[in-house]
């Protein structure tokens, strides 16, 4: 059996997607958020087990949707044929054109990326607090504010604890203030009211 180079395999897949009356998203890697990882094959029919970093993605992902898997630094679209949720962060997914165990095995350990605009901000707030520690915080003008050192959840409103030039800044973790969480670059963009940084 003749083995095709990876580049040829990807080109063949893209050609098949665009010629099967499927709408393939036109997308660049920087427009997406790395939100999960393929753990292992599940069974012999092409299913894979996927672990996501945030919960409640069942509100976003369903049969027929596209997600992207990273190959050689490039996002390759895969259409979901079937998705079965085991819990709020783990799912078994069958992709179109992945029909057997060898095909599923080739996806082992690969990053799963979702298009940023498809993910509601409130879902990104379902991240575990420990996963935000070390993230860099920027304002809307891309000016550095500091680094997240913790998340205080003792009150009704979660509070980001940010170290800024040896001073601690407390930022309410609310969608009106937290505008973007970039898991790939490990950054958080905030829109803060005037004077908050001076408290």
Q: Which domain holds residue 190?
A: 129-198
Give the pair of three-digit tokens for residue 56: 């409640």
At residue 187, the pLDDT reads 86
Q: Which DSSP helix (H) or strand (E) runs through 57?
A: none
Chain segment 27-70, per-residue pLDDT in tens: 555 567 778 889 999 999 999 999 988 888 888 899 999 999 98
Same domain, 11 and 94: yes
CATH number of the domain enclosing 44: 2.40.30.60
At residue 3, the pLDDT reads 40
At residue 74, the pLDDT reads 79
Same domain, 77 and 134: no
Same domain, 10 and 100: yes
At residue 141, the pLDDT reads 87
Task: Determine contact, residues 161/146, Cβ cutoff 8 Å.
Answer: no
As for how many domains the chain has, the answer is: 2
Same domain, 85 and 145: no
Tell me, yes or no, whether 105 lies in a domain: yes
Model confidence at 94: pLDDT above 80: yes
Chain segment 148-188, per-residue pLDDT in tens: 898 777 777 778 889 888 788 888 877 778 887 777 678 88
The chain-wide mean pLDDT, for the chain, equals 79
At residue 93, the pLDDT reads 96
Same domain, 13 and 80: yes
At residue 147, the pLDDT reads 92
Same domain, 40 and 112: yes
At residue 10, the pLDDT reads 45
Cβ-count burial of 161 within 10 angstroms (0-12 exposed, 13-18 middle, 19+ buried)? middle
Same domain, 12 and 107: yes
Same domain, 140 and 190: yes
CATH number of the domain enclosing 149: 2.30.30.240
Same domain, 69 and 139: no
Which position has the higher pLDDT, 125 or 35? 35
Same domain, 12 and 109: yes
Give the pair of three-digit tokens for residue 27: 């997308």
Chain segment 135-148, per-residue pLDDT in tens: 899 988 888 999 98
Task: Determine contact, residues 19/1, Cβ cutoff 8 Å.
Answer: no
C-alpha–C-alpha distance, residues 178 and 171, integer Å: 9
17 in helix, strand or coil?
Answer: helix
Tell me, yes or no, whether 1 lies in a domain: no
Model confidence at 126: pLDDT above 60: yes
């Amino acid at each position: 059996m003749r083995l095709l180079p990876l580049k040829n395999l990807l080109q063949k897949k893209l050609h098949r997607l665009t010629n099967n009356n499927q709408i393939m998203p036109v997308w660049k890697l920087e427009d997406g958020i790395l939100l999960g990882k393929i753990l292992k094959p599940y069974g012999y029919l092409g299913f894979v087990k996927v672990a996501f970093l945030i919960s409640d993605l069942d509100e976003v992902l369903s049969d027929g949707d596209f997600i992207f898997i990273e190959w050689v630094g490039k996002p390759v679209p895969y259409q979901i044929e079937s998705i079965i949720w085991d819990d709020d962060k783990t799912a078994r997914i069958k992709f179109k054109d992945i029909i057997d165990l060898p095909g599923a095995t080739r996806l082992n350990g690969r990053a799963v990326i979702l298009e940023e605009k498809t993910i509601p901000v409130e879902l990104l707030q379902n991240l575990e607090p420990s996963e935000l520690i070390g993230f860099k915080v920027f304002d809307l003008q891309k000016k550095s504010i500091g680094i997240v050192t913790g998340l205080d959840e003792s009150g009704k409103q979660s509070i980001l604890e940010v170290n800024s030039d040896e001073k601690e800044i407390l930022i309410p973790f609310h969608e009106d203030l937290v505008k973007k969480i970039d898991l790939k670059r490990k950054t958080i963009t905030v829109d803060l009211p005037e004077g908050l940084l001076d408290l």
